[in-house]
Amino acid sequence: MSQTTTIPQPVLDTYNTHYNNQTYRAFSAALAATLGLDERVTQLETYDGRHNRIMNLLIDASFELVGSEYHAGAGQRLGEALGELDDHTPPAGQACSRASQPLRDRQTPLGSA
């Protein structure tokens, strides 16, 4: 038996308005390089569970940021997954991890060191 989740249309609309395929692909490529994978993984020609997991978490975190209650906590999970990469986290991953931090906990604005 499968479970279906309905994301409210205003949340989907906001997500779609802000989605940037160029940024998504750049993050995917940087992540693949960090994981020691070739670009075939970014073209879905080959499968890597680590890459897929983090890319799915990125999407989930994006939905969380635009108000999807179903995806609550996704930014934290993404940050944890990126943290497991240690010193090998690509700059896009560092920014994404930082963006998922609650505003009240930030010491510096996004884009700062």
Spell out the long-range contacts of 101-104 with Cβ–Cβ below 8 A and sequence spacing 24 or more: 101/75
Domain range summary for the chain, segments of one domain joined by +: 20-100
Instruction: Give residue 11's pLDDT.
Output: 93
What's the mean pLDDT in 38-55?
86
Residue 61 has a pLDDT of 95
pTM over 0.85: no
- Read off the pLDDT band of 59 (50, 70, 90): very high
Q: In the predicted model, what is the mean pLDDT of residues 38-64?
A: 89
Which is more confident, 110 or 27? 27
Q: Residue 21: pLDDT above 80? A: yes
Position 15 scores a pLDDT of 93
**CA-CA distance, 43 to 2, in Å (whole number)?**
28
